[in-house]
């Protein structure tokens, strides 16, 4: 009988030891999880995230989108040639040109015939319609580069010839001609090429 109680006591002690060990392990595990330091939020990382995202998007643009962007840039660059002068400065410039006493020596350089037998379409310049183009041809003005070379005295002479006081300056003929002579388009010239400007047909 004593042996039985001895074995029972030993079994109970083992069970208690096992239980204590189990709960201690659970407690330590729970404590480690709970006390694990939280990762600090770095404000710099937060503020940098949008920038990094934008860079990633830019680096991963597909070739088709790049071509579309290039088309948009080309369209933007094809705006009408504009003078660096303000409207007030243009008025002052027109007044100065009107005060110039011109002579035949101020007549722009002309040609007897168009180079290569083919004149530029001067109607691609905003402000020059069929009538003015014909008068320019009769004078010997056939090409954009001829108009692009006009200085103040040539412009003053042409103002008198065409009876358009200030129109060449106000409509930026020289600037437009210079752009077209370089093979570049203006918004107006593109409309002319498409047949959208009835007065230039």
46 found inside a domain: no
Whole-model pTM over 0.75: no
55 burial via Cβ count (<10 Å: 0-12, 13-18, 19+): exposed
Is 75 within 8 Å of 187 (Cβ atoms)?
Answer: no
Question: What are the Cα distances from residue 112, in Å, to 48, 115, 116, 141?
Answer: 67, 9, 12, 9
Q: What is Dmax (Cα atoms) for the chain?
A: 147
68 found inside a domain: no
**CA-wise closest residue to 153 among 89, 91, 107:** 107
Q: Are residues 82 and 174 in the same domain?
A: yes
pLDDT at site 80: 39
128 found inside a domain: yes
56 found inside a domain: no
pLDDT along the chain (201 residues), means of 10: 70 75 66 50 42 37 35 35 76 93 95 97 96 97 98 96 91 97 96 87 69
Cβ-Cβ contacts under 8 Å for 172 (sequence gap 6 or more): 80, 81, 82, 83, 126
pLDDT at site 199: 74
The count of structural domains within the chain is 2
pLDDT at site 81: 42
Q: Are residues 32 and 90 in the same domain?
A: no
Q: Are residues 108 and 166 in the same domain?
A: yes
Q: Are residues 103 and 195 in the same domain?
A: yes
193 found inside a domain: yes
Residues recorded for the chain? 201
pLDDT at site 77: 36
Q: Are residues 96 and 178 in the same domain?
A: yes
41 found inside a domain: no
| Domain span including residue 88 | 77-200
pLDDT at site 54: 37
Q: Are residues 85 and 31 in the same domain?
A: no
């Amino acid at each position: 009988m004593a042996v039985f109680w001895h074995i029972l006591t030993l079994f109970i002690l083992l069970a208690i030891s096992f239980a204590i060990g189990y709960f201690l392990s659970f407690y330590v595990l729970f404590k480690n999880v709970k006390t694990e330091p939280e990762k600090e939020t770095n404000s710099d990382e937060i503020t940098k995230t949008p920038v990094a995202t934008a860079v990633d998007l830019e680096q991963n643009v597909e070739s088709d989108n790049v071509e579309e962007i290039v088309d948009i840039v080309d369209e933007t660059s094809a705006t009408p040639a504009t003078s660096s002068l303000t409207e007030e400065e243009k008025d002052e410039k027109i007044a100065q040109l009107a005060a110039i006493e011109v002579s035949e020596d101020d007549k722009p350089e002309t040609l007897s015939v168009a180079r290569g037998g083919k004149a530029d379409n001067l109607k691609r310049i905003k402000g020059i319609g069929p009538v003015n183009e014909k008068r320019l041809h009769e004078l010997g003005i056939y090409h954009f580069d001829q108009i692009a070379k006009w200085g103040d005295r040539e412009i003053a002479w042409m103002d008198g010839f065409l009876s358009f006081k200030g129109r060449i300056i106000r409509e930026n003929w020289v600037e437009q001609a210079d752009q077209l002579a370089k093979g570049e388009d203006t918004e107006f010239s593109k409309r002319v090429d498409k047949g959208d400007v009835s007065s230039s047909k």
